[in-house]
């Protein structure tokens, strides 16, 4: 099985690829440059390359032997709509765009795995390398699924990997069952009646309605969700008006909610709708509440999570693998793929870096050999030679 040391001869080349992607970040479903880079490299290493999957997604297919078993390895390619404050020589050259979640590193590690497995050929079956666009709330996983991802590229199981700041480089963490929360984005448009600021009695003030509704929404979790369940609801923005002396016609609110069970996500939606209808009607206003499910609760298959942890232990040793990490309130749209094919997602240590979605964040290039080695080891164990 490959080790991190086996990857080091081309670690510098992979680092150069990662930093090039970092310097040219692209938002979800706009990853044309990144997708072209991925496709070019995969073709150079002899893979069968398919582009335009779900918009800008890429799938590389590698076959060895006569085995019918197949495995999917998935990474994400998109950047965030935020500015970068790292001061690095390879910092973003696209204003307002930044690889602040490490997808540049994820893409690079999967490319490294494709090269390694193509060169070694030490497996029997099919590996589908899935380079997904638009993980950051733009529906990339759903777009690939709608484009027939698993019909066109059948997988018996599928695996993902995400970096984790504060977890030391060379360590991994995974959780069976409920690993990450599902995510709802929501927005509320409140319609009142505008008036002069000196004559509030002539209007219906949507700002006051928004203030009361913000307070009321804090009861959704505390008074509706069972204490044994973990859930979060946050109002993250309220906007209204553009003059000191005008009560506006409308106010808008938006935010997010997280939960580890689909039933709780539905409960939150129903509770929010009931509160919104009641509070708004009490002030004589009207409102429209809309929900956007950007990720489902991510549930790792226990057996496949164990096999992924075993592969990690083969690379870094059992002491460097946490097999039961805490649940993570963050979300991953890889969860949509796991609704169709069983699999698991593992965390790889990013060391002492800034947190994810932070303008000072940078993926740690020292983690690349460990990620590549894990991917290659997992494939060679799952698709062992001599197994029909």
pLDDT at site 387? 52
Which CATH number applies to 182-295: 2.30.22.10, 3.30.70.360, 3.20.20.210, 3.50.50.60? 3.30.70.360
Please check the confidence at residue 24 and state whether its pLDDT lies above 90. yes
| Count of Cβ atoms closer than 10 Å to residue 12 Cβ | 10
CATH of domain 4-180+298-382: 3.40.630.10
Mean pLDDT of 251-280: 97
pLDDT at site 42? 98
CA–CA distances in Å: residue 222 to residues 212, 217, 290 = 17, 10, 22
Mean pLDDT of 142-154: 98
Q: Which band of pLDDT confidence, cut at 50, 70 and 90, is reported for residue 1?
A: confident
d(CA 140, CA 154): 18
Please check the confidence at residue 203 and state whether its pLDDT lies above 90. yes
Question: Tokens 């708004």 belong to which residue?
Answer: 280
Ranges of each domain in the chain: 4-180+298-382, 182-295
pLDDT at site 388? 41
pLDDT at site 152? 98
Q: Note whether 4-180+298-382 and 182-295 share their fold.
A: no
Mean pLDDT of 11-22: 98
CA–CA distances in Å: residue 155 to residues 13, 125, 203, 248 = 30, 11, 59, 54
Question: Per DSSP, which regions of 165-275 are E strands?
Answer: 172-173, 177-180, 182-191, 195-196, 231-240, 246-247, 250-259
Mean pLDDT of 63-69: 95
d(CA 341, CA 62): 19
Mean pLDDT of 98-114: 98
Please check the confidence at residue 190 and state whether its pLDDT lies above 90. yes
Collect all residues with Cβ–Cβ distance below 8 Å to 78 and sequence separation of at least 6: 26, 27, 28, 29, 30, 31, 103, 133, 134, 135, 136, 138, 140
Please check the confidence at residue 356 and state whether its pLDDT lies above 70. yes
pLDDT at site 386? 59
How high is the mean pLDDT of the chain? 97
| Count of Cβ atoms closer than 10 Å to residue 5 Cβ | 10
Mean pLDDT of 331-355: 97
| Nearest residue to 217 via CA among 259, 277, 262 | 277
Question: Tokens 């226990």 belong to which residue?
Answer: 302
């Amino acid at each position: 099985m490959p080790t991190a040391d086996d990857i080091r001869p081309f670690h510098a080349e992979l680092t150069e690829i990662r930093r090039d992607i970092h310097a040219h970040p692209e938002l979800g479903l706009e990853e044309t440059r990144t997708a072209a880079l991925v496709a070019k490299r995969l073709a150079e290493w002899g893979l069968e390359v398919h582009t335009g999957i779900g918009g800008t997604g890429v799938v590389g297919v590698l076959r060895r032997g006569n085995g019918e078993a197949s495995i999917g390895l998935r990474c994400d390619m998109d950047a965030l709509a935020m500015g970068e404050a790292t001061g690095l020589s390879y910092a973003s050259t696209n204003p307002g765009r930044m690889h602040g979640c490490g997808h540049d590193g994820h893409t690079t590690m999967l490319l490294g795995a494709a090269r390694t497995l193509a060169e070694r050929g030490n497996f029997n079956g099919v590996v589908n390398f899935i380079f997904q666009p638009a993980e950051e709330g733009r529906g990339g996983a759903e777009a690939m699924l709608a484009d027939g991802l698993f019909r066109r590229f059948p997988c018996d199981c599928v695996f993902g990997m995400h970096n984790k700041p504060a977890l030391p480089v060379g360590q991994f963490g995974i959780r069976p069952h409920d690993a990450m929360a599902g995510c709802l984005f929501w927005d509320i448009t409140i319609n009142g009646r505008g008036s002069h600021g000196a004559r509030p009695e002539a209007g219906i003030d949507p700002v006051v309605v928004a203030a009361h509704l913000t307070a009321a929404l804090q009861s959704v979790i505390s008074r509706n969700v069972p204490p044994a369940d973990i859930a979060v609801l946050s109002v993250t923005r309220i906007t209204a008006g553009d003059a000191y002396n005008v009560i506006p016609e409308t106010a808008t609110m938006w935010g997010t909610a997280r939960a580890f069970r689909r039933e709780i996500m539905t409960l939150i939606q129903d509770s929010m709708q009931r509160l919104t209808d009641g509070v708004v009607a009490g002030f004589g206003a009207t409102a429209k509440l809309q929900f956007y499910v950007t990720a489902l609760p991510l549930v790792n298959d226990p057996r496949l999570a164990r096999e992924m942890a075993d592969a990690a232990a083969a690379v870094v040793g059992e002491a460097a693998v946490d097999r039961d990490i805490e649940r993570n309130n963050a979300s991953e749209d890889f969860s949509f793929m796991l609704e169709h094919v069983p699999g698991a997602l593992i965390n790889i240590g990013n060391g002492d870096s800034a947190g994810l979605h932070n303008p000072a964040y940078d993926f740690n290039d020292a983690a690349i050999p460990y990620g590549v080695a894990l991917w290659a080891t997992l494939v060679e164990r799952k698709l062992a030679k001599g197994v029909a």
